[in-house]
Amino acid sequence: MARKTSILAPDWWDYTTLADDILDEAAHLSPEDMAALSREGFKVVFYDTLEEFYLAEALEYISAWKQATPDNPAGICGPIGPTEQLPLVARLVNEMALNLNNAHFWGMDEWVIGDKEAPIDHPLSFEKADRELCFDRIDAQLKMPEQNLHFPKADVTAYIKSWEGVRCVVMQGGQGDIKHWAFNDPVKREGKYKDAPPTPAEYREFNTRVVNLHPVTLMQNARTSGGGVVTGVPTRAVTVGPVQTWQAEKVSIWQAGAHDNPFGMRLTAFMVGRKIADSSVPMSLLAEHPNVQFNYYRPAIGTCDVEMH
C-alpha cells in the first residue's frame, strides 16, 4: 500500500506519512503510559522541576568527563537545543576543580551558509553559543585543550576522524518539531526515496554530512531563535550522523517542552519503546540503539486533547 503524502511538506517525508493507528495510539498516551514504555535499552525519566531537569543534564557532562584519563580519553557530544544546562556545566567544573585535560567535547551540528559552516561571529553560530555559555566560563587552569573541542565543519573530514580512539560516553540531544536529533531530518521525497523513505538500515549508514533542512525545521528555528524571521535562517546545516550516534555508548534526549509539543514528545517515546523504527521519524531509529534515555520535564508533557484558545 502506498505511503501517505505529508500534510506539512508534500515534497518531503515526515511523521504525517505514518499509519494513522500509530499516530492515534501515541496521542492517547498518559504520562504513566509513557513511563511504562521503558524496557531494556530504553528508559523514560521524568523531572518535576526545571532546576532538577537542567542539573541532571549538566551532570551528564561531569560524569562523562570524570571518566577521562590519559590512556582512555572520554567525552560527550552535546546539543545547542537546549542550552540552559551549559552555564551549569561550567559552574560545576569550576566548583569541583575538575581538570579537563583528557576530556573531549563534540558539537552536534552547525549552520552551513554557501559552502562553508557559519562563522563563529554569526549570531546563530552553535560554536559561539557553546563557547560563550560554557567553555569560556571555565577557569583557565581547568580548561579543555583546544584540540579536544570538536565542532563540525562543512568539510567533515577532521570531525569524523576525531571520533576515532576517544570514547563518547553519552550523546545528548533535544527533539525538534520534525522529530530529529541534531539535524538528522527526514529526507526529501525524490529519486530512490520517492515512494518510500530510507529503510532504518540505510538511514543508519548516514555519516556526519551537510544536509538540506526540512521546512518545518526552518520554521522552528525561526520561532525559537530568530523571532519568526524564516528568511534569516540558513537552509542547510552540517550534522553529526547516525554513524557517530551508534559510536556513543548512550544517547540521552532532553525535552523540556520548548522545542516539541505534547504529541511529538509522546510519538517518539511510543515508537522507541515499541521498537517501531521508521526514518520518516528519524528519532524513532533510536529504537535500535542499545542504550537510550528520554528525559522529560513532567509539567510540559501536557495532553493532546482539543482545547480552543
pLDDT at position 26 is 97
Confidence of residue 209 (pLDDT cuts 50, 70, 90): very high
Pseudo-torsion of CA 170, 208, 85, 176, nearest 10°? -110
- In the DSSP assignment, the letter for residue 280 is T
| pLDDT score of 257 | 80
| In a domain? residue 281 | yes
Crossing angle of the two packed helices 85-96 and 126-133, in degrees rounded to 10: 40
pLDDT for 306 beyond 90 = no
**Per-residue pLDDT, 231:** 80
Q: Cell numbers at residue 148, please?
A: 579536544
- Structure confidence at residue 81 (pLDDT): 82
In this predicted structure, the answer to whether residue 309 has a pLDDT above a threshold of 80 is no
pLDDT computed for residue 226 by the predictor? 72
Q: Tell me, yes or no, whether 197 lies in a domain.
A: yes
Q: Are 214 and 6 in contact (CB under 8 A)?
A: no
Tell me: cis bond preceding 82? Omega within 30 of 0 counts: yes
The answer to whether residue 31 sits within a structural domain is no
Residue type for 138, please? Answer: I
Mean pLDDT over each residue of the chain, to the nearest integer:
95
pLDDT at 308: 79
Q: What's the pTM value of the predicted model, to 2 decimals?
A: 0.95
Query: Which residues make beta-bridge pairs with 107?
Result: 78
Region 259-276 average pLDDT: 94
What pLDDT, on a 0 to 100 scale, did the predictor assign at position 74? 98
Q: What per-residue confidence (pLDDT) applies to 229?
A: 76
**Counted domains in the chain:** 1
Instruction: Indicate whether 8 belongs to any domain.
Output: no
Q: Which amino acid is at 85?
A: Q
As a whole number of angstroms, the distance between CA 152 and CA 95 comes to 29
Question: Alpha carbon of 95 to those of 87, 90, 227: distances in Å?
Answer: 12, 9, 35
pLDDT of residue 126 exceeding 90, the answer is yes
Res 2: pLDDT: 84
pLDDT, greater one: 9 or 226: 9
Q: How confident is the model at residue 187 (pLDDT cuts 50, 70, 90)?
A: very high
Which ranges of 136-214 would DSSP assign to H, the alpha helix? 157-162, 200-204
pLDDT in tens, 56-88: 999 999 999 999 999 999 999 999 888 999 999
Tell me whether residue 185 is in a domain. yes
At 283, is the pLDDT very low, low, confident or very high (cuts 50, 70, 90)?
Answer: very high
Q: pLDDT grade, residue 230 (50/70/90)? A: confident
Residue 299 neighbours by CB distance under 10 Å: 13
Q: What is the CATH number of the domain that holds 288?
A: 3.40.50.1360
**What value does the mean pLDDT take over residues 263-272?**
97
Q: What are phi and psi of 93, to 5 degrees?
A: -60, -45
> What's the angle, vertex CA 243, arms to CA 101 and CA 65, rounded to 5?
20
- Domain contains 269: yes
Query: Would 9 be classed as within a structural domain?
Result: no
Residue 289 or 235, more confident? 289
3-state SS assignment for residue 149: strand
State the sign of the Cα–Cα–Cα–Cα dihedral 231, 208, 123, 169.
Answer: positive
pLDDT for 147 beyond 90 = yes
In the prediction, which pLDDT does 156 show? 98
Choose between 248 and 308: higher pLDDT.
248
Q: Which residue has the higher pLDDT, 233 or 37?
A: 37
Domain with 289 in it: 41-300
Chain segment 239-264, per-residue pLDDT in tens: 999 999 999 999 999 998 877 889 99
Segment among 31-35, 47-51, 254-258, 276-280 with least mean pLDDT = 254-258
CA 295 to chain centre: 12
Orientation of helix 262-273 relative to helix 20-27, angle to 10°: 110
In a domain, residue 23? The reply is no
